[in-house]
Structure 1
Amino acid sequence: MDLVEKKLQSELVYEGGFLKVHKDKVLLPDESHASREYILHPGAVAILALTPDRQLVLERQYRYPAGRVFLEIPAGKIDPDEAPEQTARRELLEETGYQAASWRYLGTAYPCIGYSNEQISYYLAEGLQAGERQLDEGEFLEVLTLPLEQVMQMALSGEICDSKSIVGLHWLAAYLDGRLPGAAV
């Protein structure tokens, strides 16, 4: 069965600083019509920054849309003409002050497929060296490190509950256990 929907018409409903909202008219596989509303996103990265003693670098940050503070892994949006790994290096330094000697790509996930094309590329950062944070204007967050096993339990208990962090922790666990392609045990 052909499940692809074909775009017939597209309207840009809103264009913000980095998000664009579209409303399209589409042709469905059964030849009927429907409308689709979605957000175009430039893409993002998420970083699992792991110390030699298996501490994970985390951030505590208020997220306005959800109206609460979250404990999460460092992340950020990809700037125009910037490679994802370059974004990961920049975001880790800006948000946490850490630089990493070793970087490994873990995978890419689509966190909101029902209404956005956002992709998040995940990276493991090791060989960390602490330095000075370079937060963007208007960016407020607290940086902390916690034992990896404690972080995993916090994700299972729901204390860490954003999908970006949960996916990253899943891939990190698979990598550390040697179950992720290219992983070293």
Structure 2
Amino acid sequence: MSGPPPFSSAQEVRMNDDLASARHDPPSDRSAAPLAPVGARRHGPWTILTRTEAYRDPWVRVERDDVIRPDGLPGSYCVIHLKAGVTVIAVDDRGRVHLTREFHYGVGRVTVEGASGGIDAGESPDEAARRELREELGLEARTWVDLGSVDPFTANVVSPTRLYLALGLTEVEAAPEGTERIERVTMPLFQAVEEVLASRITHAPSCLAILRGALHLGIGLRRIGPDGGSE
């Protein structure tokens, strides 16, 4: 992830002048904010002093920043970078959505989701979506609708996910990875909407893809009932 641009030369000069002035000014009763050294980078209301890579594997990169917080105090901040990914909601000609049911190690339970995975190096999001649908559900689609993107986390995890609606489905041979044990789940799209609203489907990109897909197709979102269900 590229950071914000470094301070300009004029900013560096001002910082050096401020630092020299601070050495000679008598201390005040008010707590002064730490001065950012030359080479520090602005990041919104934060200032990044240094950045180190704490961990890396093929799926995850963890960065640790030494920072000056918005309140002027020193601190540290860790950011987890995941591979950019895709989530696909596949809907057949009968209005049924095809989803995956699989045990997911992180949450430690079985979840129902759209076909999902990371975008490989040199692969476009469209190509990744086609690959994931084929590998996980054994499906190919004639028509693809880009449903936009979502950031599932924003505070300390970077994991942008592109969402797709796949239509005009044909069966092919699935090819799940060795770490995957996937069962296909099929239900009417309006029922999937209700599963989302009832928090029985909780994978954030899948939830949004189901709702956006239903809006695109005009299914299951005509009215939200008093019990939270859709009609």
1:62 paired with 2:123, answer no
**What SS does the aligned partner of 1:80 have?**
coil
**What SS does the aligned partner of 1:48 have?**
strand
1:11 paired with 2:49, answer no
Q: Equivalences for 1:1-185 in 2 at 5 Å?
A: 3-177=44-218
Task: Report the equivalent of 1:182.
Answer: none
| TM-score of the aligned structures, taking structure 2 as reference length | 0.72
Query: Unaligned regions of 5+ residues in structure 1, if any?
Result: 179-185
Larger mean CA deviation between 69-78 and 23-32 belongs to: 23-32
1:128 is displaced (CA, Å) by 0.5
Q: Supply the distance in 1 between the matched residues of 2:68 and 2:148 (Cα, whole angstroms).
A: 32
Please tell me the root mean square deviation across aligned C-alpha atoms, in Å: 1.7
Residues 81, 159 of structure 2: 8 Å contact kept: yes
Structure 1 residue runs of 4 or more that deviate by more than 6 Å after TM superposition: none
Q: Supply the distance in 2 between the matched residues of 1:4 and 1:43 (Cα, whole angstroms).
A: 26
Q: Supply the distance in 2 between the matched residues of 1:8 and 1:168 (Cα, whole angstroms).
A: 38
| TM-score of the aligned structures, taking structure 1 as reference length | 0.89
Q: Supply the distance in 1 between the matched residues of 2:175 and 2:106 (Cα, whole angstroms).
A: 24
Query: Unaligned regions of 5+ residues in structure 2, if any?
Result: 1-42, 220-231
Quick one: percent identity of the two aligned structures?
30
1:68 is displaced (CA, Å) by 0.4
The structure showing larger relative contact order (alpha-carbon pairs under 8 Å, at least 6 residues apart) is: 1
Letter in 2 for 1:61: E
Q: Supply the distance in 1 between the matched residues of 2:76 and 2:209 (Cα, whole angstroms).
A: 33
Q: Supply the distance in 1 between the matched residues of 2:105 and 2:71 (Cα, whole angstroms).
A: 40
1:63 is displaced (CA, Å) by 0.8
Residues 104, 110 of structure 2: 8 Å contact kept: yes
